[in-house]
Structure 1
Amino acid sequence: MAKKVRSIHSCSECGYSSPKWLGRCPECGSWGTLTEAAPAPVDKRIPTKGLTPVSPAIAISKIDAKHTASITTGIGELDRVLGDGIVAGSVVLLAGEPGVGKSTLLLEVASRWAAQGRTTLYVTAEESAGQVRLRAERTNALQDQLFLAAESNLDVVFGHVDQVKPSLLIVDSVQTMNVEGVEGVAGGVAQSRAVTAALTSLAKTRGIPVLLVGHVTKDGNVAGPRVLEHLVDVVLHFEGDRHSSLRMLRGIKNRFGATDEVGCFEQQSDGIHEVADPSGLFLSHRESTPDGTAVTVAMDGVRPILAEVQALLVDTPAKNPRRTVTGLDANRVPMVLAVLAARAQQQTADKEVYVATVGGMKIAEPATDLAVALAAISALNRRPLPPRMVVLGEVGLAGEIRRIPNLARRLQEAVRLGYEQAIVPAGEKLNVPGMRIIPVADINAAIEQVK
């Protein structure tokens, strides 16, 4: 009697397989996504003979490094994150939330690339050719060497590549493309895997760099199976607050450079523009500094950025005063206020406290604790901090000021922007020309410096 072949159930979101049906996928947590499918036949033959390779193995010292040289895209912030530019034959996946500006950024890349006399093919499966043309007119991205194709069939896209012979291929987006002969709908696990694998093979065999647009889930992860991130060479996340014009480009994976670089852009009516000096977006340029304000230097990747922290303390008859935090860690701000009350005898327990950053910047590192504390002290005493001062340090529960990383680099950025004195943790041996350094060991010593 022939043995019955048992079917399997695969998740259409992440590719998880189970021998039985489940209402919720244990891997990605999606509901109703497991569908029944017949298992692929297993070839139990063990290879005993090796096939003759098409090209012999080459000593690594004899491989020409010119074939992997980076090519600048014309956008400095993007080149910084990629690692001096895009490498020929590489595949870059750009992911981000809807409306953040992924298509606008890549259209600008295509325009800059074509402006240098290099043929570019932009394939869109989400919009019509007319819609992309209107955006190109608005952002001044019309170029004779920029070719546009509105197509979702990957086989037809390969035909466009054969006709145009581009030096750069942009596909928007990988979740809307489909391959004939592969089961599943566009955007599913099977189709997304097949599309990415085919485009990766195209890039490697022809030496054409490929830029892919990827959608993200509600958790911020790239939609589709995790194999997509393994197939490509570079994974970039384009993010930003919908209430702010600032956009940040972060490297998540990069086979050709570091993943701690961050690119800054600003969304405007005529497109996306790179911001070489983002500190100006997070500082209020005033003649005098008001009370309740402190300037600190945060690290975003390896880039120091000056940020302004504001605090407002208000009397309230309520038994449970409010603690409202915007742009900072909502758990650390109440801790800093508790340290002020317990270690420095500052009356903050009966006050409503509002703490926020300027310009929509988000800071998660504890190096801004001292700035929050001194901004609160300034607001409580109605006395502004000394002008041209930056405040850096982590506040411990015992009231001590702890050291922070990259302190010298932060102070050098502050000097470049005209700041002259800094309150920093004690114990650091620093020599920053143009900066008067004030070391403090605890929160009380810091408060004494700003009285």
Structure 2
Amino acid sequence: MARAPKVRYLCSECGASHPKWVGQCADCGAWNTLQEETAPAAAPGGRFAGYAGDARAQSVRRLSEVTPQQTQRIATGLGELDRVLGGGLVPGSVTLIGGDPGIGKSTLLIQAMALLAEQMPVLYVSGEESAEQISLRAQRLGLPGEKVQLLTETQVERIIDLAGRHGPRALVLDSIQTFHTEELQSAPGSVAQVRESAARLVRFAKQTGTSLFLVGHVTKEGALAGPRVLEHMVDTVLYFEGESGSPFRLVRAIKNRFGAVNELGVFAMTDKGLREVSNPSAIFLSRHEEQVPGSAILVTREGTRPLLVEVQALVDQSPLGNPRRVALGLEQNRLSMLLAVLHRHGGIGMYDQDVFLNVVGGVRVTEPAADLAVLLAVLSSFRDQPLRGDLVTFGEVGLAGEIRPVPSGQERLREAAKHGFRRAIVPAANAPRKSIEGLEVVPVRRLSEAIEAC
């Protein structure tokens, strides 16, 4: 009779191991932090299988002796998805897709599998929905389902066995929180089950060269039963973003071993599923019929793509003793810092004004290149004077009032010129050596120079 695997309990705070569950960790004193997991099997003689002393272990080689193989990427048929993946699917890669419920994770994957099924065998495994539900979604989206293999199962061992028989080159598991392994007694969705199930599936993908997609649910903290438990185990982590009232969906690469990090793919949710947006700058620009105060156009960069977005600001007299600072799509603490720089080095104080800031389209801008656009939008609203409609800007503002350069300035300027903008206020270090046709570039070194240039 086969011996049952040993189970141990690890503290999620300090990593201490315990033979049985207790309420408090004896090493660090934290409460309710012990998580069940399977102990590694020991080989005869006290050695762990696969480590030093095992005949099956690979020999140690020099890095210069290893010749990397050229990997042929596989196009999914969705250009925006290929972009965030780094150019397409890599055989044997493991991709984790996370996002809020109902944002479109399953829709995106069923569309990708229907397109991939035309060139390779694929398998879609669902632990949440029945086969009839998935079939109804495919019919609603108008997808061909003749070549897509479907399985509704939650036991990992059975999934691996069936996948090994059918030999799919692309495998989807929706979602990882619903699957379980028989070696653990904890409930599906617990940290131990999620981690152990994912480890077995990742091992299967690497051994067989199968491209694996895992769907993960995001909790409020992003920790318990969320995809953050798996981020170190997978090759690529994609996050779905989007406002509830907006049809646009953003797919952002948080981690990618085969491509650029922070790459962005833009989709529009329609009654026929997710549709690619080839020119995302057009949807993030309002293009007002007449110029309005408090609006500035920023050239940001997401991964390898320059993107034009509109930054809107509203400055109003505050009835409160402590004026409000509200930022949507930007970091609120950075807004407070920039307002202090504007007061010190621009001579304009807003200590009695409420300042509201928003990035149009639900985009989140994290790079400091948005600093100059934020200050110009705030100043435009404060003085009730609109900026030029053909003006774009970017640049980082330092605490000393200097305008610091940002990466890829040339590409940002070319993108602005392509969309018909005629004037750009940029850091002096980002000024192009050769003039760009149709675009007047105004280099600035200090915040006061940027205010005068407007």
Q: Same fold (TM over 0.5)?
A: yes
1:183–1:190: 8 Å Cα contact kept in structure 2? no
User: 2:87 matched to 1:89?
Assistant: no
Provide closer, same or farther for how the CA distance between residues 179 and 316 of structure 1 changes in structure 2, counting only shifts above 3 A. closer
Q: 1:70 aligns with which of 70, 73, 92?
A: 73
Match for residue 216 of structure 1?
218
Instruction: Give 1:178 shift.
Output: 2.2
Match for residue 449 of structure 2?
445
2-side partners of 1:411 and 1:109: how far apart?
34
User: 2:436 matched to 1:433?
Assistant: yes
Instruction: Give 1:199 shift.
Output: 2.4
Q: 1:320 aligns with which of 319, 322, 328?
A: 322
Deviations 1:110-164 (A, max 9, x none): 11112x2533211100111121122212222232101222111234334543564
Provide closer, same or farther for how the CA distance between residues 390 and 29 of structure 1 changes in structure 2, counting only shifts above 3 A. farther
Provide closer, same or farther for how the CA distance between residues 38 and 113 of structure 1 changes in structure 2, counting only shifts above 3 A. closer
Identical columns (%): 44
Structure 2 length as normaliser, TM-score?
0.83
Alignment of structure 1 residues 191-270 onto 2, 5 Å = 191-221=193-223, 223=225, 228-270=230-272
Provide closer, same or farther for how the CA distance between residues 120 and 371 of structure 1 changes in structure 2, counting only shifts above 3 A. same
Instruction: Give 1:413 shift.
Output: 1.4
1:121–1:169: 8 Å Cα contact kept in structure 2? yes
1:13–1:224: 8 Å Cα contact kept in structure 2? no
Indicate the larger mover: 221-230 or 399-408.
221-230
Q: 2:381 aligns with which of 366, 379, 390?
A: 379
2-side partners of 1:75 and 1:105: how far apart?
9
2-side partners of 1:30 and 1:96: how far apart?
30
Tell me the secondary structure at the aligned position of residue 149 of structure 2.
Answer: strand
2-side partners of 1:26 and 1:327: how far apart?
43
1-side partners of 2:35 and 2:363: how far apart?
43
Match for residue 360 of structure 1?
362
User: 2:97 matched to 1:101?
Assistant: no
Alignment of structure 1 residues 14-413 onto 2, 5 Å = 17-18=17-18, 23=23, 32-34=32-34, 44-45=45-46, 51=55, 65=69, 68-114=71-117, 116-161=118-163, 164-221=166-223, 223=225, 228-346=230-348, 348-413=350-415
2-side partners of 1:367 and 1:37: how far apart?
45
Letter in 2 for 1:442: R
Indicate the larger mover: 29-38 or 413-422.
29-38
2-side partners of 1:371 and 1:132: how far apart?
45
Provide closer, same or farther for how the CA distance between residues 145 and 429 of structure 1 changes in structure 2, counting only shifts above 3 A. same
Deviations 1:43-88 (A, max 9, x none): 6535997637999x9x99998946x311111111121222221122
Deviations 1:171-203 (A, max 9, x none): 112221223344332233443344323323433
2-side partners of 1:256 and 1:380: how far apart?
46
Deviations 1:17-65 (A, max 9, x none): 347866467999996353689977866535997637999x9x9999894
Provide closer, same or farther for how the CA distance between residues 50 and 370 of structure 1 changes in structure 2, counting only shifts above 3 A. closer
1-side partners of 2:30 and 2:243: how far apart?
26
2-side partners of 1:316 and 1:397: how far apart?
25
Structure 1 residue runs without a partner (length 5+):
1-6
Letter in 2 for 1:359: G
Letter in 1 for 2:102: G
Letter in 1 for 2:282: G
Tell me the secondary structure at the aligned position of residue 260 of structure 2.
Answer: coil
1:13–1:225: 8 Å Cα contact kept in structure 2? no
Provide closer, same or farther for how the CA distance between residues 175 and 26 of structure 1 changes in structure 2, counting only shifts above 3 A. farther
Provide closer, same or farther for how the CA distance between residues 22 and 330 of structure 1 changes in structure 2, counting only shifts above 3 A. farther
Paired residues in the alignment total: 442
Letter in 1 for 2:85: L
Provide closer, same or farther for how the CA distance between residues 27 and 367 of structure 1 changes in structure 2, counting only shifts above 3 A. farther
Instruction: Give 1:295 shift.
Output: 0.7
Instruction: Give 1:344 shift.
Output: 2.9
Provide closer, same or farther for how the CA distance between residues 17 and 251 of structure 1 changes in structure 2, counting only shifts above 3 A. farther
Indicate the larger mover: 245-254 or 71-80.
245-254
2-side partners of 1:51 and 1:249: how far apart?
44
Deviations 1:281-323 (A, max 9, x none): 2210223321221111112233221111112222345443333
Provide closer, same or farther for how the CA distance between residues 168 and 399 of structure 1 changes in structure 2, counting only shifts above 3 A. closer
Match for residue 3 of structure 2?
none
1-side partners of 2:212 and 2:36: how far apart?
34
Provide closer, same or farther for how the CA distance between residues 144 and 347 of structure 1 changes in structure 2, counting only shifts above 3 A. same
Tell me the secondary structure at the aligned position of residue 220 of structure 1.
Answer: coil
Provide closer, same or farther for how the CA distance between residues 318 and 301 of structure 1 changes in structure 2, counting only shifts above 3 A. same
Provide closer, same or farther for how the CA distance between residues 26 and 100 of structure 1 changes in structure 2, counting only shifts above 3 A. farther
1:403–1:425: 8 Å Cα contact kept in structure 2? yes
Structure 2 residue runs without a partner (length 5+):
1-6
Deviations 1:354-397 (A, max 9, x none): 22221222223222222122222222332211221102222233
1-side partners of 2:290 and 2:351: how far apart?
29
Instruction: Give 1:15 shift.
Output: 7.6
Letter in 1 for 2:273: G
1-side partners of 2:33 and 2:73: how far apart?
41
Tell me the secondary structure at the aligned position of residue 273 of structure 1.
Answer: strand
1:294–1:390: 8 Å Cα contact kept in structure 2? yes
1-side partners of 2:268 and 2:222: how far apart?
21
